[in-house]
């Protein structure tokens, strides 16, 4: 075990190559997949705060990679000290929560690196967060990435907009109307 592992630090703290944005549709009512992976119905997410809809309407995704991309164009309005979640207010008015991992707050920021900060303007599809799936697995944590609209009452409806079991980052997963 190396020094970084002994201290609970991740290789994410080292110099990293630039990450290119993913292609996205121009659709202000769309909420996009922040990662590529296997879709999980929100009701099947193992955290009751998500599965019972307490944090809004959305989907879970079992990620294949270690980068999360912005699900909407808007402004980062909140970030957490442990760097595993962001809240982005979309141009449509949707307040979109991007949350990486379940119980990942227990890592106290180890294995996470925010690429944006509160107040930043972001475009859909740009990289906003790096995360270490291997570290989550080592600590016995679920790496499911959840994206929700936390203010569904502001819309006539918020509904799933994807079919199948797999999704690619930048694909539409939710639509507001």
Give the whole-number percent of the chain exceeding pLDDT 70.
Answer: 91
Q: Is the model's pLDDT at 12 over the cut of 60? A: no
Average pLDDT estimate for 138-164: 95
What is the per-residue pLDDT for 163? 78
* Partners of residue 127 on adjacent β-strands: 69
CA distances from 174 to 18, 74, 145, 146, 161 (A): 28, 16, 14, 12, 5
Residue 173 contacts residue 32 (beta carbons within 8 Å): yes
25 vs 170: CA distance, rounded Å: 8
For residues 109 and 137, the answer to whether their CB atoms sit within 8 Å is no
CA dihedral 118, 120, 126, 132 (to 10 degrees): -30
Percent of the chain having pLDDT more than 90? 86
Q: Which of 71, 98, 99, 130 is catalytic?
A: 99
| Sheet strands (E) in 16-171 | 30-32, 37-41, 57-63, 67-69, 74-79, 85-90, 95-102, 112-114, 121-122, 127-131, 142-149, 158-160, 166-167
Domain locations in the chain?
A: 27-176
Query: Whole-model pTM?
Result: 0.89
Q: Is 84 considered catalytic here?
A: no
- The pLDDT of residue 18 is 82
CATH node for 27-176 = 2.70.70.10
pLDDT for the residue numbered 162:
83
Band the pLDDT of 15: cuts 50, 70, 90: low
DSSP summary character for residue 6:
H
Taking 80 as the threshold, does the pLDDT of residue 78 lie above it?
yes
Per-residue pLDDT tens over the stretch 25-72: 989 999 999 999 999 999 999 999 999 999 999 999 999 999 999 999
The whole-angstrom separation of Cα 148 and Cα 94 is: 9
Q: Model confidence at 73, in pLDDT bands (50, 70, 90)?
A: very high
Measured CA to CA, the distance from residue 87 to residue 129 in angstroms comes to 12
pLDDT bucket at 7, cuts 50 / 70 / 90: very low
């Amino acid at each position: 075990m190396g020094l970084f592992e002994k201290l609970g630090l991740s290789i994410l703290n080292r110099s990293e190559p630039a990450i290119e944005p993913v292609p996205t549709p121009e659709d202000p009512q769309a909420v996009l997949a922040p990662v590529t992976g296997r879709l999980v119905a929100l009701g099947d997410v193992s955290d009751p705060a998500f599965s019972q809809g307490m944090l809004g309407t959305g989907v879970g995704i079992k990620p294949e990679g270690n980068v999360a991309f912005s699900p909407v164009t808007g402004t980062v309005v909140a970030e957490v000290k442990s760097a595993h979640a962001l809240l982005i207010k979309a141009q449509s008015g949707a307040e979109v929560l991007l949350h990486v991992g379940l119980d990942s707050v227990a890592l106290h920021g180890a294995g996470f690196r925010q690429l944006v900060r509160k107040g930043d303007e972001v475009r859909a599809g740009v990289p906003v967060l790096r995360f270490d799936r291997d570290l989550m697995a080592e600590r016995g944590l679920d790496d499911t990435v959840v994206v929700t609209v936390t203010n569904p009452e502001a819309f006539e409806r918020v509904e799933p907009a994807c079919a199948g079991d797999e999704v690619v980052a930048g694909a539409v997963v939710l639509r507001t109307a």
